[in-house]
Structure 1
Amino acid sequence: MAINPVSLSVANTQIIDETNKIKPAATPFEAQQSFASTLKDAIASVNTQQVQSDVMTQKLINGEDVDLHEVMITAQKASVTLNATMEVRNKAIEAYQEIMRMSI
């Protein structure tokens, strides 16, 4: 069985090409829109997890054919995403308060 050497010249050239590309700076409006859309997507994802957990729990309560472990996994995922969102919110509030305490 022959072992062929790995050619690094192509990979290095691609890495160099990628780092040499200069992206134009985003305007403040574009940055704000990007941040807002990212935040909306994240909150929508958390909401989806919560709704999915509620649906699975309701199915279990009604006696439908769902596995208990699937219901518990879904509930735990929803809990983790909500807790992570709350921590991000807390850090954002702390950062805002720190900025407001700064003297000019």
Structure 2
Amino acid sequence: MNDISALSNIGSEYIKNAALNSATLNTDDQSFGTYLQSAVDLVNETNQLQLDYKKEELNVALGYSDNTHDLSIAESKAATALQYTVAIRDKFLDAYKEIMNIQI
């Protein structure tokens, strides 16, 4: 049987990191570079979660793993991260459009 002790804090590191990132984004003295770096880090993390999901999917498809729970968890993490990334991208685009509409 698989060890389920890791399930006691499901995603706690991911949630902690997300809270830390959002806390740093809420301060007023942050530069645009900080915001941009945070967005790049988010894209990299989302990409890694997508790759982990594809790896798990391949392992199940090839018969190396019969644990569909890990596949389901990896898929959920990847989907949630992608939705969050798309929402952040939409906010950046809205802010960009608003800045472009400002008359000088």
Please, what TM-score do these two structures have when normalized by structure 2?
A: 0.64
> Larger Rg: 1 or 2?
1
Measured in 1, the distance between the counterparts of 2:33 and 2:87 equals 23
RMSD over aligned CA atoms reads: 1.7
Q: Mean Cα displacement is larger for which, 57-66 or 79-88?
A: 57-66
SS at match of 1:103: coil
- 1:9-20 matched pairs, under 5 angstroms: none
Deviation at 1:32, TM superposition (A): 4.4
Separation (CA, whole Å) in 2 of partners of 1:93 and 1:36: 13
Q: Which residue of 1 aligns with 2:100?
A: 100
1:101–1:85 Cα change, 3 Å: same
- Pairwise CA distance, 1:64: 1.2
Q: Is the 8 A contact 1:56 1:66 kept in 2?
A: no
User: Gaps (5+ residues) in structure 1?
Assistant: 1-24
Query: Following superposition, which runs of at least 4 residues in structure 1 exceed 2 angstroms of deviation?
Result: 31-40
| Structure 2 Cα separation of the partners of residues 94 and 77 of structure 1 | 26
Give 5+ residue unaligned stretches, structure 2: 1-28
Q: Could you give the per-residue CA deviations for residues 13-64 of structure 1, whole angstroms, max 9, x where no partner exists?
A: xxxxxxxxxxxx67xxxx3443343232221111110000000000010011
How many percent of aligned residue pairs carry the same amino acid?
24
CA distance in 1, matches of 2:98, 2:75: 35
